[in-house]
Structure 1
Amino acid sequence: MLRSEFKVAFCYNMHPTTDELKNAEVFAEFDSKDTINAVTNSIKELGFQIFLVEFDDDFVENLKSINPNLVFNIVEGFQGEDRESQAPAIYEFLGIPYTGSTPMGHMFGLDKIMAKRVMEHNGVQTAPFQVFDTPIDGSLDFSVGFPAIVKPAHEGSSIGIHNDSVVNTLGELRKQVNHIINTYKQEALVEKYIIGREFNQAIIGNENPIQFPIVEIDYSYLPDDIGKFSSYEVKTTLDDPGSTICPADITEEQEKRISAATLAAYRACKVRDYCRIDLRMDEEGEIYILELNTIPGIAPGIEENNSMPKAVRVYGWTYTQMIGAIIEAALERYDFDLDNNGSYNDKIK
């Protein structure tokens, strides 16, 4: 099969326009039109046939009618703790190959509690934590210590994380835990707040993955009354393209230790094809994995400040090469071989 005959369905959620927004957090994980256009143009540039499929009521029927050879998936899903797993589960049911993690792999991206337990079981260090599944009413047994940060257990894109999410007293803890449980209808994850530097690293591949240059998030530009962490406000209204520094100013030994930790987390949670892993390094140099982003932001513009495209550019690749590498990682898993004539030997359909 020639590459020009190879059908790629690009599946996504598009962020609605400002006029349609009723609750910005609900759509925080969706992608902009610029990102949709950039991925579309890259897949075209790579020589594939491309079909755009938005995740809506007609999603399954549209996929069936296209009968693609591969799905390029960035669907975030909608509603529920397993929303990022919804589209991959459909691809599995329909027998369609796709990029990215399995439904279980995506579960680790949104279920912070399970991801932490799996990582710790596999020797990957995460911040000490405690889980609250009911509102705090009266006295409580709190073992994590202060300062602590309170998060929803099943959200991404810093949803539910605000300037008052870092707490220093039992009264503040009680207020934030109850707010998370009552507002987001899910457990509150309380972690020891790691004072230090914040980094992330993008990975593409499977058996021998590429680990891209490490990015540091620099919060020094923020006003004194704003917490130096990735809150929803910092990611949106207070975002600054200069805050992501790549390559990070770290020693060779620190780079090796960070890369070892991110790869261990990638392996432990059975992530496929690509991911961005967030972490902190405390004042003693200890590394703590914060979370895995199995559908990381891939907005193309420098002003949009997504770490993965920035790291890829520093590595020396174009945006299209990044998209191509993700596709190739999936094709290798599914045993598609590109022969010398530029054709794919389709072994599974």
Structure 2
Amino acid sequence: MNTKELLQRARDGLKIAIVYAGDKNHPDAVIERQMNSRDWKSYRLVAEDIAGALEGEGFSDVIVLPEDRHLGDAISRSNIDLVWLNSGGVQGLNPMAHAPALLEMLGVPYIGHNPLAVSLLDNKHVFKSMCMAASLPTARSVVIAPFVEDCNFIESGNFESVFHGFPGPFVIKPVSGRASKNVYFAESKIEVTHAVEDVWNETGHLCLIEEYLPGNEFAISIMGSRVRQDGEFVTHGGPFAFSAVQRRFEPHEKIFTSMDVKPITYDRIRLLDLSRERELISKIENLARQVFARFTLNSLVRLDMRESRDGELQLLEANPKPDLKRPSEHTASITCAGLAQRGMSYADLIVSILADRMADLSKTRNKDSTILKKLLATS
């Protein structure tokens, strides 16, 4: 069955839920409130954009649900066939892994990374360790546990074994986060301690100290191989990389200002030119494809990278839940920035993500699953 046929059956028969992050402060959202190792945002507006795009494509049974203690019951009551995870989690450690873990246990198919993959991607120190093990370039770094008794960690053997007398500058950030929140630039070791304490106070979790890279910063998005371009579905020979952009910095900016403080407008990013910058784009795409393969990914991810002093690309981090908010006249989306360049619209991207997942599900061994019976039933 081709992709168009799968999608048509999905339009006619599937009930889809787009899930955003519930608020732990809402009554009855959780059993007991606790810290969140990741800066929280609901992403409800983005979930509504995704739902709107699907409805515009003819999917008539789409609802939006919060991730909270009632999610499993809500999915069951609504007879949901497929969940689209658009949540960064509610609270606790590794919050992005909670919803996919729940869905795995319930046996509900979903769009998004599996619990292990999302944990590897969202925990920057683990992602960087995995990159090093896979011989992928990434800036050197150390992890500091919160409120260690010896606050002179910058003189420790662990710190020295990584940085070998490097005087700075450094970047200090939470190991898990979003939108460049709680990220600090430290010119020297003297400034590092205060920045680390600020991260601890904000997150109560691990802090990453990373060598500052002074070169240009880039981002690229990458997903599965099935994509709708110029109105037709195309299956590429490997994962589809797109929207290679350069982040633009103000003269005083050392790190990209959080979108919560300064929205991402079109003058803050520059789409790389497919003709004039083909060599650079190829390097960025190749690095993205290596990550996609080494981490055995099967869903959309955005990768951030920056040039070192000698101009070599170094991986900074992976974003397992890139912003899928529909771009507006004044606000840009890094992931959507290069869609027109590839003959795609926002709706094309949303449908492509869904279609790629549908194709994967159609090949599963569990032929008795409800969603497969609907997708593969004889017309």
User: TM exceeds 0.5?
Assistant: yes
1:124 corresponds, among 126, 136, 142, to: 136
- Aligned position for 2:42: 30
Contact 1:84 1:106 in 2 (8 A): yes
Percent pairwise identity: 19
Aligned to 1:297: 323
Selected match of 2:198 from 158, 179, 200: 179
Residue pairs, 1:1-349, within 5 angstroms: 1=9, 3-13=11-21, 29-31=41-43, 33=45, 35-48=46-59, 49-133=61-145, 134-135=147-148, 136-138=150-152, 140-141=155-156, 142-143=159-160, 144=163, 145=166, 146-161=168-183, 165-205=184-224, 208-219=238-249, 222=250, 224=251, 226-232=252-258, 235-237=260-262, 239-247=264-272, 251-302=277-328, 303-335=330-362, 344-345=375-376
Structure 2 gaps, min length 5: 1-8, 25-36, 226-236, 365-373
Q: How far did residue 86 of structure 1 move? A: 1.0
Deviation at 1:101, TM superposition (A): 0.7
Contact 1:28 1:157 in 2 (8 A): no
Distance in 1, matches of 2:56 and 2:152, equals 61
Q: Secondary structure at the match of 1:307?
A: coil
Gaps of 5+ in 1: 17-24, 338-342
Helix, strand or coil for the counterpart of 1:92? helix
- Residues in 1 aligned to 2:321 and 2:152: alpha-carbon distance in whole angstroms: 39
Asked whether the 8 Å contact 2:124–2:317 carries over to 1, the reply is yes
CA offsets, 1:37-74, max 9 Å, x none? Answer: 32111111232221221223421110111222211111
With normalisation by structure 2, the TM-score equals: 0.78
User: What amino acid is aligned across from residue 201 of structure 1 in structure 2?
Assistant: I
Q: Is the 8 A contact 1:81 1:110 kept in 2?
A: no
Alpha-carbon RMSD across the aligned residues, in angstroms, is 2.6
**What residue number does 2:27 align with?**
none
1:202-255 CA distance string (max 9 Å, x none): 112057221113111011xx3x4x4331233x6523643311111358732222
Whether the 8 Å contact between 2:23 and 2:90 is mirrored in structure 1 is: no
TM normalised by structure 1 equals 0.85
Distance in 2 (CA, whole Å) between partners of 1:137 and 1:66 is 52
1:179 maps to a residue whose letter is: D
CA contact (8 A) 1:29 1:157 kept: no
Worse-superposed segment, 195-204 or 67-76: 67-76
User: How many residue pairs are counted as aligned between the two chains?
Assistant: 325
AA partner of residue 137 (structure 1)? C
Q: Distance in 1 between matches of 2:90 and 2:55?
A: 28
In structure 2, distance between residues paired with 1:272 and 1:157:
23
Q: Which amino acid aligns with 1:95?
A: G
Mark the CA change 1:26 to 1:86 in structure 2 (over 3 Å): closer, same or farther.
closer
Q: The residue matched to 1:305 in structure 2 has which SS?
A: coil
1:124–1:9 distance in 2 versus 1, CA, 3 Å = same
Question: Relative to structure 1, is the Cα distance of residues 87 and 2 closer, same or farther in structure 2, using a 3 angstrom cutoff?
Answer: closer
Alpha-carbon distance in structure 1 between the residues aligned to 2:266 and 2:10: 40
Q: Give the match's secondary structure for 2:292.
A: helix
Farther-moved stretch of structure 1 (103-112 vs 195-204): 103-112
Equivalent-residue separation in structure 1 for 2:279 and 2:272 (angstroms): 14
SS in 1 for 2:110: coil
